[in-house]
Amino acid sequence: MKTIILMILGIVIAPILGGLIAGIDRRVTARLQSRFGPPILQPFYDVAKLFGKDKVVSNFWQVFCSWVYLIAAALSVALLFGQTDLLLVFFVQAIGAVFLVMGGLSTPSPYSQVGAQRELIQVLTYEPLIILVFASIFMVTGSFRIDEILAYKQPLLIQLPLMFVVLGYALTIKLRKSPFDFSTSHHGHQEIVKGVLTEFSGPYLGIIEIAHWYETIFILGICALFWHTSLVGVILLLVSTYFAELIIDNTMARMTWRWMLKYVWSIGLAMSFVNLIWLYAG
Amino acid sequence: MLPMMLVIAILLPLVAAIGCYFLRVSAIRTLIVLATGVCVAAVSLALLGQGSFTYSPGTIVGISWDSLVTLADFALLFVMLYYAFKLKNQLIKVFVILQIIPLALFELFVIDHAVETPAIFADSLSLIMVAVISVIGSLICFFAIPYMKEHEEHLHLVKSKQPQFFFFLVLFLGAMNGLVLSNNILWLYFFFEVTTFCSFMLIGHDQNQIAVKNATRALWMNALGGVAFVFGMIWAYVETGSLDLQVIIHSGPMGGLMLAPLGLLCLAGFTKAAQVPFQSWLLGAMVAPTPVSALLHSSTMVKAGVYIVLRLAPAYAGTFLSQGIALCGAFTFLACAAIAVSQSNGKKILAYSTISNLGLIICCAGLNTKWSITAAIILIIFHAASKALLFLCVGTIEHGIGSRDLEDMHGLYLKMPRTAVITIIGVLTMLLPPFGVLLGKWMAIESASGNMFVITMLALGSAVSLVFWARWAGILLTAPLRDKVPAESQSILTKLTLTVLAGIAVVLSLFSPMIYTRLIEPMVGKTFEITAGVFASPMGVFAVYPIFIILAGAFIYSWIETKKSANAKTSQSYMCGANVKETGVQSFIGPMNTPVAVKASNYYMKEFFGEEKLTLWVNFIALALIVLMLGGAL
């Protein structure tokens, strides 16, 4: 019963929190660039406006894919809040990722096609790292179950500092921020227009936006596991991590996918190995 | 009752095969194949319901079955030798002679023929294998009936070669059933060789230059496996004094010298399962007609390889050999998934992904915990269903559009909506929860989490395979699409097999908790509590039913929304405002004011994952790992 309540809570709260974070993100980014920026509620106004627009599609599978993307993202957050299994949650999240790519590939627009291929490379880059992060959590706590992990007495950050940095790479990629924002270029007017999202418009773009909010909460929720022992710790960790993301986003130029794949895999694997060897030695 | 069922499972396909060969009328052949398939499949399910047993067939008209098998074995080896001379291939000659001479010496001077060895032993693993072989294999044979007719029409053959084709196809099922039911290791060896020979004949079926070349390669590689098997078998007999597989597996604590024969037997399994560096024969098998590829890749042949490694798992538990096997398997999983990314040939992608998944199964056998063995069995079952489906889909697509290249499948939904959707279903069942393949992968990754090297390779391999699957599913839909697509016509048997296989691939996942509690748990031991279709252990949870139900709801709801969007406006693709304004035309105004058609293709990332680039290194590392595995065993 408790699980179901937590899951429903997750489904309801996550998009609200995700939208607010997006709003704060825009505001802080603006300040970093000496602008004022939009009101914090602007992402909600944007999505509301999208839902008011005419429905326009070029391939009806787009509609299907955007809905499945949203539902899978919501389900993964629900499973995370319901304290099930880390890997399971991640695989459910992958359903969303796959359907977003399929939606992008379903129209023959070159921007959408290239964006979808790049999105796949992003998934290729972050997925092994996240699995390794989960495996390392398993090595420390002896379980993939979130309820068991929450019962662990120490913050994981103490034993897995480098794995947290590795997770940070995955977070940057998943949030589609520079230097890794090449599948949808989250600032408009760039080389591939809006990448995988180019052909989605109106309510369907709105759906994808909400799904993205869910994903933001999903990945921040996993970050929160690293300091689960105190609420202050969680907030401190998340605020500083997200702020670091913003700084990186604003100071880095976008790189190519070749660079990303080589760089993130090599650095990520090296750091994982170092951290895991510590664990074994200790 | 039991002897009758065994006769149907093992001998009926042989009789039917002979029938297919001599009764050269297509209607009779169709009838024979259909009837045999239905009987074998029904019997396999009945056997599954009955549970484990041991059985000795005794004698037939005064001759023991053991000596008949021995006789057949030598006959088969000499047939192979004949082909070695016919093909003028030195390797095959050497490998076949290296089997004949030791085997003859073994039979004549070493074996104590007075000792009675139960020939047949079946536990859940064997029975699951029989069910997989008989149900999926039969469906593939059904599919072959209309397929081969079209195939021969394409080739404009004067004299049909179908009798020979169906002879080996149907015989294969019987041989596989025999292989997984054998307890006498000599019987196991005999059936092992029969599958080698059948695959050789089937791969070379079209008899053109490339088919012969690839068939030859398949024969020498598998004959090498046969050599490893013979030496492993003799060595194991010397150590344990028994031909009884169960005795060999359970003959006390394994250490030192006993590991070497086990290592050799596993090596034989590796060649059969096409693990790197032996992958090339299975890739070459693509040249054969599609039903052959489907059969080899899903329910037979390669599954014989993983079966042997898995069967022997209790014998080498906790040894260095076991770790070596886990490393080899994990490496194959990663290497082949990576190479698959760079491929645009649909069948080749499937072939690499098969080898990759077999690597995962072998890795699970090597990890050798209750958890990982469960994972291996789950993977065997569900991989067979999904992979058979995907191969048959590629075969259908190839007959439909004349190509098996991914780039030609852009927008297949417009031309072959039915096949396209079924292909996408097949792809999703390989990739996403709550389907069985992913359930197996989940168990595999969780059980590998203590081993740093294995988990890293599994994590990378799992990510890489997502790329080629998702890409494939996506491009089948690529099209400007608003109106209803005209329905696609398929012959009854094609439609039936594809639909049934798709149904199995999807619906069987719903039964995975039941498969676990009824079949796997009694054999392997308890690892999971199952409540309301949720696998739970202190280390992890996987909610099959809840996710299945929610996702089914999600798909239905999304489809309703999609239907509702029918009156939405149609847009042209965005092309920086330079679209050619005609409706239904996908082009933009290019230089000199001329229309340029839009063309997009996949990223194959050849500079990272190219076949030419990786294969040499992959083979080198794999060879080193095998040396490590066997060396460590010695």
B449 close contact with A: CB closer than 8 A:
yes
Minimal C-alpha gap between B584 and chain A (Å): 10
DSSP B7: I
Q: Establish if A113 touches chain B: CB-CB under 8 angstroms.
A: yes
pLDDT of B254 above 60: no
pLDDT at B630 over 90: no
Q: What is the pTM of this model?
A: 0.95
- State the average pLDDT over residues B367-388: 94
Is the CB of residue B184 less than 8 Å from the CB of residue B66? yes
Name chain B contacts of A276, Cβ cutoff 8 Å: 452
Instruction: Please indicate if any CB of chain B lies within 8 Å of the CB of A141.
Output: no
pLDDT at A256: 87
Sole residue written with tokens 């760039």: A190
pLDDT at B583: 72
Q: Choose among B413, B459, B602: nearest Cβ to A132.
A: B459
- Is B573's CB within 8 Å of A94's CB? no
Give B569's contacts in chain A (Cβ within 8 Å): 54-57
Compute the mean pLDDT over every residue in chain B, rounded to the nearest whole number.
91
User: Alpha-carbon dihedral of residues B327, B330, B331, B333, nearest 10 degrees?
Assistant: 160
- B96's CB contacts (< 8 A; 6+ apart) are B77, B80, B81, B84, B223, B226
Name the least confident of B48-52, B428-432, B503-507. Answer: B48-52
Give me the torsion for CA of B148, B150, B151, B156, rounded to 10°: 120
Residues of chain A contacting B470 with CB distance shorter than 8 Å: 97-98, 101-102, 120, 123
Contact list in B for residue A110 (CB cut-off 8 A) is 573, 575, 598, 600
Question: What pLDDT is recorded for position A205?
Answer: 93
In the three-class reduction of DSSP (H, G, I as helix; E, B as strand; rest coil), residue B63 is classed as strand
B279 versus B481: the higher-pLDDT residue is B279
Cα distance between the two ends of chain B: 45
Inter-chain touch A124–B481, beta carbons under 8 Å: no
pLDDT grade, residue B50 (50/70/90)? Answer: confident
The answer to whether A18 and A165 are in contact (CB under 8 A) is no
In eight-state DSSP terms, residue B519 is I
Q: Which residue has the tokens 């909010």?
A: A213
Model pLDDT for residues B209-245, shown as the tens digit of each residue: 999 999 999 999 999 999 999 999 999 998 888 899 9
Residue of chain B with shortest Cα separation from A276: B452
For B552-562, the pLDDT digits (tens) are 999 999 999 99
Does A107 touch chain B if contact means CB atoms closer than 8 Å? yes
CB spacing of B445 vs A91 below 8 angstroms: no
Contacts of B627 (CB under 8 A, 6+ apart): none
Are A60 and B482 an interchain contact pair (Cβ–Cβ within 8 Å)?
yes
Instruction: ipTM value, please give it.
Output: 0.95
- Of A224, A173, A209, A197, the closest CA to residue A23 belongs to A209
Q: What is the mean pLDDT of each run of 10 residues along chain A (282 residues)?
A: 90 96 93 92 95 90 94 96 93 95 91 92 94 94 93 92 94 87 68 80 94 95 93 94 92 87 93 89 68
B487, pLDDT greater than 60: yes
CA distance B412 to B485: 11
What is the per-residue pLDDT for A187? 62
- Single-letter amino acid, residue A39: P
Contacts of B371 in chain A (CB under 8 A): none
Q: Locate tokens 């192979």: which residue?
A: B80
- DSSP assignments along B166-230, one per residue: HHHHHHHHHHHHHHHHB-BHHHHHHHHHHHHHHHHHHHTTT-SHHHHHHHHHHHHHHHHHHHHHH
Phi, psi of B7, rounded to the nearest 5 degrees: -60, -45
Q: Which of B467, B538, B554 sits opposite A124 (nearest CB)?
A: B467
Partner-chain contact A106 B450, CB within 8 Å: no
Per the model's pLDDT, the better-predicted residue between B19 and B583 turns out to be: B19
Least Cα separation, residue B618 to chain A (angstroms): 19
Using the 8-state DSSP alphabet, how is residue B511 labeled?
A: G
pLDDT one-digit tens code per residue, B147-156 = 999 888 888 8
pLDDT in tens, B434-464: 899 999 999 999 999 888 899 999 999 999 9
Is residue A18 classed exposed, middle or buried when 0-12, 13-18 and 19+ CB atoms within 10 A define those classes?
buried
For A189, the closest chain B residue by CA position comes to B576
Q: How confident is the model at residue B59 (pLDDT cuts 50, 70, 90)?
A: confident
Q: Are strands B595-597 and B540-543 parallel, antiparallel or unpaired?
A: unpaired
CA pair distance A129, B491, nearest whole angstrom: 46
Contacting B residues, span 419-448, partner chain A, CB-CB under 8 Å: 428, 431-433, 438, 442, 445-446
- Provide the chain A residues 208-247 that lie in CB contact (below 8 A) with chain B: none
Instruction: Tell me if residue B69 falls in helix, strand or coil.
Output: helix
What gap in Å lies between CA A176 and CA B87, rounded to an integer? 58
CA-nearest residue of chain B to A136? B449
- ∠ CA A207-B415-B506, nearest 5°, is 60
**Neighboring chain B residues of A144 at a CB cutoff of 8 Å:** 446, 449, 539-540
Is residue B15 less than 8 Å (CB to CB) from chain A? no
Answer whether A189 touches B (CB < 8 Å): no
Instruction: Select from B460, B478, B541 the Cβ nearest to the Cβ of A105.
Output: B478
CB-CB: which of A55, A117, A123 is closest to B568? A55
Output B484 or A57, whichever has higher pLDDT: A57
Nearest chain A residue to B434 by CA: give it. Answer: A92
Residue B506 has pLDDT above 80, yes or no: yes
Q: Is some CB atom of chain B closer than 8 A to the CB atom of A69? A: no
The reported pLDDT for the residue numbered A98 is 95
What does the pLDDT read at residue B255?
60
Contact check, Cβ <8 Å, A135/B449: yes
Q: Is the pLDDT of residue B425 over 70?
A: yes
Contacts with A63 from chain B: Cβ below 8 Å: 558, 561-562, 565, 568
A267 touches chain B (CB under 8 A): no
Let me know: does A58 contact A199? Beta carbons within 8 Å: yes
From the CB of residue B556, how many other CB atoms can be counted at a distance below 10 Å?
10
Place of tokens 């490694």: B309
Distance from CA of B386 to the nearest CA of A (A): 18
Q: Please give the full DSSP string across A220-232, using - where no structure is assigned.
A: HHHHHGGGTT-HH
What's the gap in Å between the CA of B254 and the closest CA on chain A?
A: 28
